[in-house]
Amino acid sequence: MTYRVKIIRDETVASGGVAIEITGYIDRVPETPPIDVERLSRAPKGVWNSRLLFSGDFEDLAPALAAIEAAYPDLAEIRRSEFSIDYEFPNEIAPLQKLDGKWLPGKGPRYGPPPQLDWRVG
């Protein structure tokens, strides 16, 4: 199990703004090597594309969320998806939303299979 965090410059806004996504890799490894493990690190220029700002691979969800919150304390939503050995592409699932200091699944995509991982934290 690997949780890969990607922090990407959001090109839908004129300045500032980031989009953050966590992909849970189930019984498979990511196709690309990690930029860093158990922490977020700045992506080297030219990696994937110039929008990728930070990345990191984590064994557990809680440290991944802690690293994200340390970098972006005002963040209220994180996109998420699951990528299983059974599927050719990752399945987008409802985002995590911060409510009363806890990350909980929000409303989101209703297509595809139900989540396979337990995304609850704290």
Q: What value, to the nearest 5°, has the Cα angle with vertex 78 and ends 17 and 90? A: 115
Domain ranges of the chain: 2-105
CA nearest neighbour of 9 among 46, 49, 44: 49
pLDDT band at 62 (very low <50, low <70, confident <90, very high): very high
- pLDDT for the residue numbered 52: 83
Detail the DSSP E strand segments found in the chain.
Answer: 2-9, 18-26, 41-42, 52-58, 77-84, 91-99, 102-105
Across residues 79-84, what is the average pLDDT?
A: 91
The alpha carbon torsion through 103, 108, 110, 114 (nearest 10 deg) reads -20
